[in-house]
Structure 1
Amino acid sequence: MSDNEDDVTEASALLRQQHPTNPRHGGSDENATGPASGARWNTVQQSAYETQTGTSIFPTDTRVDLTALVEDDNLLDLSPHELPRAHSDVNTQGSFVTVLSLWTTMMGSSLLVMPWAIQEAGLVLGLFLIFLMACLTCFPTTLIYKAADYLELTLKVPVVEFQDICSRLLGPRIAWISLAVSLLNLIGAMVVYWILMSTMLYQIGCFFYEVSYPGPANITDGPFNLPTTGYFYQYWNDRLTVPFYLVFLLLPVICLQRPTFFTKLSSFGIVAVIFMITFVTTKIWTWGFHATSATPNFTLARGHFPALTGTLSMGFFIHNCILSMTAHHQQPQKKTRDTAIAFLMVAVSYMIVGGGFYAAFPDDKKTIADNFLKNFSNKEVLALAARALLFFQMFTVFPLLAYLFRVQLFYAAFGRLDLSYHFIIILNAVLVGVCLLFASLYPRIGDILRVLGSICGLVYVFTLPLLLDLAVRSRAGEKSLLRTIIYVFLIGLGLANFIAQFVIPTH
């Protein structure tokens, strides 16, 4: 069997294990605890969030071998219950690859939003919250690893994904919750990507126009003082026209049955992430620090900090795919250590981009946009390169997000994937319509990310892993009142973080 055929077989088996038996269409598993057992719900994300690694900027990790998944000509013609099992001979990865993939996967659109989020919390409080959230979000990953080991070593139950554990230990209803949050995360990622692509394309177009027809130059164009007059800008508007131009670019590609070509480009995300960090670092070096009381609206702490904690809930979100991303580690005993290193690297990256940009920004801190690239002149060459890289990366990731949304929704609703092409067109038209509504009427990615992050954080970070640990310890006869109290407190923090997004307004 060729290497490509091995990959296809393995990906097919992963898909089979990650989609549950749909209770509306029957199906069973003799060891199942509910409709999500046997074949599990696949809650692959983000992002998108966030394709980070294989993704990026926000999300985009497909968490399975997408290339193999979409290249299998027969895959979509099979019922998920008929897909072949995985080949046992798989490649392994070392600590360096594991850390790098986790690092790039977690960082997505959150990287662009971080300076704005720091501005909402203040410099010192913001840096402290980044470190605190890194610790709070890293801890549940250790519980996920322990729960997976319990199922595999004690109960001899194979585990592919986080949702497998939830289905086995917490009951069938968790499958539906996981699916709902997964679909919400995917549609949120698509909305954010559409807004960002509209902004990037708009500013790239402005660059070429302003170079061809020079006008007064601005050192740092804020989000509200971009040129909007003239005949050109009547047809080149970041809210009224450019988002609709994207329809002609994206709608045809997301209607493809299998977006094979784009999966080959998804790893481009790491290039964009590294370039962004390098770009910000050079600007910090060039500007110097402007973090004194004389700097307009510079603060060390501010009461609008929930905007940062909500954004960080998405910025550190990787829990639903952590098992699949570390499944082939050469030394499984080091997975916890490598995961902690990755979280630390993400925290440091956010501190550099968020805290460094905020401290060095030479103008009024209130003008920092929720996409910090909007704070650079359209004529800034390095900013142009960053926008072009990000646009290309997001353009290659968006079809994968739409494909994952379609696969999950179709199997949940119809119990099959080989539906008429008309269903694909209708679904994609609805998805594009939602993206256009937000891009035209509410293009505030900071607000979208913080609310979406607080929801995903509440479910996947602060609740399910803790309940899993309690369930495992209960079965092992290791009940502890103190541990239960601590876990209830942590769940309360996640709930408070979610509520605060609607109670405490942004600055």
Structure 2
Amino acid sequence: MIWNTMMGTSILSIPWGIKQAGFTSGIILILLMGILTLYCCYRVVKSRKMIPLIDTSNWEFPDVCKYYFGSFGQWSSLLFSMVSLVGAMVVYWVLMSNFLFNTGKFIYNFVHDINVTDIVPGTNGSNKVICPSAASGHPPQNRSVVFSSGNDTGFELFEKWWNKSQTVPFYLIAILLPLLNLKSPSFFAKFNVLGTVSVVYLVFLVTVKAARLGIHLEYNWFTENDFFVPEFRIQFPQLTGVLTLAFFIHNCVITLLQNNRNQENNVRDLSIAYFLVGLTYLYVGVIIFASFPSPPLSKECIEQNFLDNFPSDDIMSFVARIFLLFQMMTVYPLLGYLARVQLLRQFFGNAYPSIFHVLILNIAIVGAGVAMAIFYPNIGGIIRYSGATCGLAFVFVYPSLIYVISQHRAGQLTWPALIIHIFIILLGLANLIAQFLL
């Protein structure tokens, strides 16, 4: 359950993050961030047990923050929790627009027997890989040239009304906004298995593509050439920002573990879940990076969503987008429900004060997603900014401070423990600052 909940959209950006950090340093960072976030998550799980003389069995982590930091802890935890939820919903909207656009384009071309060849640089053959960023210098726009013996007017009209940034993000409103206004999205929780199916299929896709493309690696620590990136790059904080959200489950881990029949196994189960998540990220990221054909292309061509490196007529990528689109359309209302419960209950004491309140909140959230899909469709950037921001509080600062304060009150705080946890807090702060500098 924890693995299924933690695995999300970040997996699509892990290969790009490894490119930004360098191959060897990227692998090291995934391992280190996995261990660090696991430890901080462990501190979250244990935080309730450190409060004496109070029954904390029904407490969530924001309740623990309120106990230690008063109203500041209560409201700041709400703020950072909303950043993580809304940030995830914005990423979902950008990706759903991408997947819906490519799915519609594939179906239209197939039905009308249109042969479309992407005009961006790419490899030849049946296992084609493309480099959209080399053609435009901007996020991929799926530019293409059409070969058809008939009248192209219909295709031109389709391209006008089926545009990834100008029209498709608005089409999603008609589907998802009504779903966000439902009082209880419990129906969509039944489709949670789609997340597992999607990740398993992505692993399968990556394995097949790598087997066909082969391995293309050249090890060089600092020198960059036309086809390879160095093993260490100064942009490595971009990967740590992505990983902060990729390993983020700290604001709901207590709730998830409450369903464990044997509570004494919580730490074991949490460790196993983090191990499996880290292994999945490592496998997908390393295989995509290693098999990316350079030469003739450059590793710099790896996109923030690695599915964009496969052409629009690729069957396996089409199936992956279908899986991910349906999964995200079922998870999106659940994320909206969590955001609504946390925000409206805090302000009005009721998760559904009226349809008017709920509609205003949902329009604001949907509007943020549409705006980002139009003006800043860079999921890697959105993930790392939101991940580093919410991670500063829930991953690095609050768990460490709560542990230090509780140990100090119990008279058990040692200098090594104090230094280690101050260092963790400073790492979280540096991680956030670096996102805006690099």
Shorter-normalised TM-score: what interval? 0.7 to 0.9
The yes-or-no answer on 1:164 pairing with 2:63 is yes
Alpha-carbon distance in 2 for matches of 1:349, 1:157: 34
- Label 1:233 to 1:350 Cα distance change in 2 as closer, same or farther (>3 A): same
The yes-or-no answer on 1:104 pairing with 2:7 is no
Percent sequence identity over aligned pairs: 39
Which position in structure 2 is the counterpart of 1:124? 24
Which position in structure 2 is the counterpart of 1:37? none
Alpha-carbon distance in 2 for matches of 1:262, 1:147: 31
Alpha-carbon distance in 2 for matches of 1:462, 1:390: 30
Aligned partners of 1:159 and 1:165 also within 8 Å = no
Flag structure 2 segments of 5+ consecutive residues without an equivalent: 123-127, 133-139, 146-154, 220-224
Alpha-carbon distance in 2 for matches of 1:208, 1:201: 11
Q: Among residues 291, 294, 302, which one is paired with 2:233 in the alignment?
A: 302
1:405-420 equivalences in 2 (<5 Å): 405-420=339-354
Alpha-carbon distance in 2 for matches of 1:302, 1:164: 40
Alpha-carbon distance in 2 for matches of 1:226, 1:146: 48
Aligned partners of 2:194 and 2:323 also within 8 Å = no
Alpha-carbon distance in 2 for matches of 1:407, 1:246: 23
Alpha-carbon distance in 2 for matches of 1:401, 1:470: 32
The yes-or-no answer on 1:148 pairing with 2:48 is yes
Higher share in helix: 2
Could you state the TM-score of these two structures normalised by the residue count of structure 1? 0.76
- CA deviations 1:389-414 (Å, max 9, x no partner) are 00000011111222222222222222
TM-aligned CA deviation for residue 324 of structure 1 = 1.7
3-state SS of paired residue (1:216): strand
Which position in structure 1 is the counterpart of 2:142? 226
- Label 1:441 to 1:301 Cα distance change in 2 as closer, same or farther (>3 A): same
3-state SS of paired residue (2:115): coil
The alignment covers a number of residue pairs equal to 403
Aligned partners of 1:119 and 1:366 also within 8 Å = yes
Which position in structure 1 is the counterpart of 2:125? none
Which position in structure 2 is the counterpart of 1:467? 401
TM-aligned CA deviation for residue 165 of structure 1 = 2.1
- CA deviations 1:331-356 (Å, max 9, x no partner) are 33332222122212111111111111
Amino acid in structure 1 at the alignment position of 2:426: G
TM-aligned CA deviation for residue 288 of structure 1 = 1.1
Aligned partners of 1:290 and 1:360 also within 8 Å = yes
1:42-191 equivalences in 2 (<5 Å): 101-151=1-51, 155-191=54-90
1:17-416 equivalences in 2 (<5 Å): 101-151=1-51, 155-211=54-110, 212-216=113-117, 219-223=128-132, 224=140, 226-227=142-143, 231=156, 232-292=158-218, 296-362=227-293, 363-416=297-350
Alpha-carbon distance in 2 for matches of 1:432, 1:225: 22
Amino acid in structure 1 at the alignment position of 2:359: I
Could you state the TM-score of these two structures normalised by the residue count of structure 2? 0.87
- Label 1:338 to 1:416 Cα distance change in 2 as closer, same or farther (>3 A): closer
Q: Among residues 456, 469, 473, which one is paired with 2:390 in the alignment?
A: 456
TM-aligned CA deviation for residue 155 of structure 1 = 4.2
Supply the RMSD in Å over aligned alpha carbons: 1.9
Alpha-carbon distance in 2 for matches of 1:188, 1:225: 23
Q: Among residues 414, 419, 427, which one is paired with 1:480 in the alignment?
A: 414
Aligned partners of 1:170 and 1:471 also within 8 Å = no
Aligned partners of 2:10 and 2:246 also within 8 Å = yes
Once the two structures are overlaid, the 10-residue window that deviates more, 251-260 or 190-199, is 251-260
3-state SS of paired residue (1:304): coil
TM-aligned CA deviation for residue 373 of structure 1 = 0.7
Amino acid in structure 2 at the alignment position of 1:161: E
- Label 1:350 to 1:157 Cα distance change in 2 as closer, same or farther (>3 A): closer
Q: Which has the higher contact order (CA 8 A, sep 6+)?
A: 2
Aligned partners of 2:17 and 2:239 also within 8 Å = yes
Alpha-carbon distance in 1 for matches of 2:130, 2:236: 25
TM-aligned CA deviation for residue 483 of structure 1 = 1.6
- CA deviations 1:254-306 (Å, max 9, x no partner) are 22233342222233211111111121122112211111268713332211101
Alpha-carbon distance in 2 for matches of 1:251, 1:236: 20
Flag structure 1 segments of 5+ consecutive residues without an equivalent: 1-100
- CA deviations 1:85-125 (Å, max 9, x no partner) are xxxxxxxxxxxxxxxx2222222111011111111001000
